[in-house]
Chains A and B, each alone.
Chain A
Amino acid sequence: MYKHQNSRSSGSFSWVFQRVTGLILVVVMIGHYILMHYTPESGHSYDAVLARMQSNWYRVLDLTFIVLAMYHGLNGVWGIFRDYKLKQWQAITIMSLLIIVGLAFTLWGIKTILDIPYVQTSTSELLVK
């Protein structure tokens, strides 16, 4: 076994973080899949989502999920581009695009979750059209 090189000075933060986020995502992702298919409605109907979103734990879970998945996914895509010898302008363009698109979609997803209203569950039909 090789001893670890000093990971702080060698620019490998993103490499370590890719693994750390990956390991967290395993749990979140498989949980998400089971939850979203537990019944045919649970992942595909407004009321199921509305009911979950009454709990801030679910909101926080979803926001964590979107941030981690987006970071991990785009960092992975960047890693693929890095396998090719990019000219500096190409690297900068691609990196900027990934960051801009990633931020836009992350904010969009966050907005979707935060827009969902809080209602009294027993009378939710009356309070939300």
Chain B
Amino acid sequence: MAEFKKFDQKNWVKTNLNYRKDSGSWAWILHRITGLALMAYLFMHIYSLSPLSQGREAFNEFMSHYTTPFFMAMEWFLFAFVLFHSLNGVRIVLVDWADGARYHKALYRYSIVIGVVMFFAMGYVMFSHEIHKLFK
């Protein structure tokens, strides 16, 4: 029998990239990345809401930088992170606590379908006003 290889902590990026991955390992890696990104966003969010304390002018002036098409698109992509992390979080809980191991492959597929649908639905909510302006 091949000797059991110890997990190499120093080279964990390489270790994580090298083993064979199925859907579950990707889910685990992406859950981490999206979780960390949301945490980073939360810090920025609290900072960027702070001009609310200084009244209307200050806040609207601050926000005017972030209502450009670029930032609107970024907010949409952020929703993809939110969706992945939430749906996968629910999936983890179901697999552990609701006997989801018996149907985890199906659960994975449903999550992806629900996620894609919700992503585009949110896109419609976010951009419908612009779309309506184009086609009236």
Contacts and interface: CB of A to CB of B under 8 A. Distances in A.
A126 interface: no
**A interface: dominant SS:** helix
- Chain A contact-residue range equals 35 or more
A37 B122 contact: yes
A94 to B, nearest CB: 14
Interface of B: 9, 12, 32, 35-36, 38-39, 42-43, 46-47, 49-50, 52-53, 55-57, 59-60, 63, 66-67, 75, 79, 82, 86, 89-90, 92-93, 97, 99, 118, 122, 125-126, 129
Interface of A: 1, 19, 22-23, 25-26, 29-30, 33-34, 37-40, 44-47, 49-50, 66, 69-70, 73-74, 76-77, 80, 84-85, 105, 108-109, 111-113, 115-116, 128-129
19 contacts: A19-B93, A19-B97, A23-B93, A26-B89, A29-B86, A30-B82, A30-B86, A37-B122, A38-B125, A39-B129, A49-B59, A50-B56, A74-B39, A80-B32, A80-B36, A112-B49, A112-B52, A116-B53, A129-B55
